Amino acid sequence: MAQPTILIVDDEKDIIDLIEIYLRNEGYRLLRAANGLEALSVLEKEDVDLIVLDIMMPKMDGIEACLKIRESRNMPIIMLSAKSQDMDKILGLGTGADDYMTKPFNPLELIARIKSQLRRYTRLNVTAPSREHEIEVDDLTINTATHEVKLDGREIKLTPREFAILELLARNRGTVWSIERIYETVWKETYLDSDNTVMVHIRKIREKIEDNPRKPRFIKTVWGVGYKVE
């Protein structure tokens, strides 16, 4: 796993040097900036996982820098300030910072907060699995890529024909499909009036996905017309 990169923005070199000792002991990569303008320049060239941002700095202070950063980036920002008044904290957090520490601070506490923010950021930004192949009908999920059907998270075993019928109706939710149309779409054969194959398959699907097959929740019968998923 790549080292997390931390950008420290402070015009006091001694503070950055102190933080660096603790960060390197934890395996972090450190980048430096002496003011907000330098921080923005660093962000144009480097991928940064978290920013420790002092408020009182020349050229561009931390408040303005935070506002600029938040226009395009969402990594965690921990504000540092010699001011301890509540309004200063509110102002810092109000500009988009995720946490606030008052100088002088315990470096071990700063490291703990950095770890906490990185965990939270990583958890919230884990790439969600693609759901483009999923059809959802309430608590019923049909995955057309894996041919899996789950009801409230529990896997339901369907035969290929049963799956094809369920997918057809769910994909066209609200549309009534006649027995003839279902048969010719799924079996790709000409339907015969005496054939009750579709009805048998519908009954089996209901037995597997319905709490009460006699009062179906998913596959509804439209009398004299056909079936639909609402």
Per-residue confidence at 120, pLDDT binned at 50, 70, 90?
confident
Contacts of 84 (CB under 8 A, 6+ apart): 102
Rounded to 5 degrees, what angle do the CA atoms 13, 60, 117 make? 70
Residues whose CB falls within 8 Å of the CB of residue 157, separated by 6 or more in sequence, listed in order: 208
Strands 77-81 and 99-102: parallel
Per the listing, tokens 């059809």 go with: 135
| 125 three-class SS | coil
Q: Residue 111 is inside which H or E element, if any?
A: helix 107-124
pTM (2 d.p.): 0.52
**Quick check: 89 pLDDT over 80?**
no
Contact status, residue 76 vs residue 63, Cβ threshold 8 Å: no
How far apart are the C-alpha atoms of 177 and 169, rounded to whole Å? 7
Instruction: Give CA–CA dist 70/57, Å, rounded.
Output: 18
pLDDT greater at residue 129 or residue 172: 172
Dist CA 111 CA 19 (whole Å): 9
- Measure the CA–CA gap between 185 and 165, rounded to whole angstroms: 9
State the pLDDT at residue 123. Answer: 67
- Mean of all residue pLDDT scores within the chain: 86
- Coil, strand or helix at 3: coil
pLDDT at 14 over 50: yes
Best CA proximity match to 5, nearest among 88, 26, 18, 198:
26
39, 10 Cβ separation under 8 angstroms = no
CB-based contact 46:5 (threshold 8 Å): yes
Per-residue pLDDT, averaged over 75-100, amounts to: 73
* Radius of gyration of the chain from its Cα atoms, rounded to whole angstroms: 30
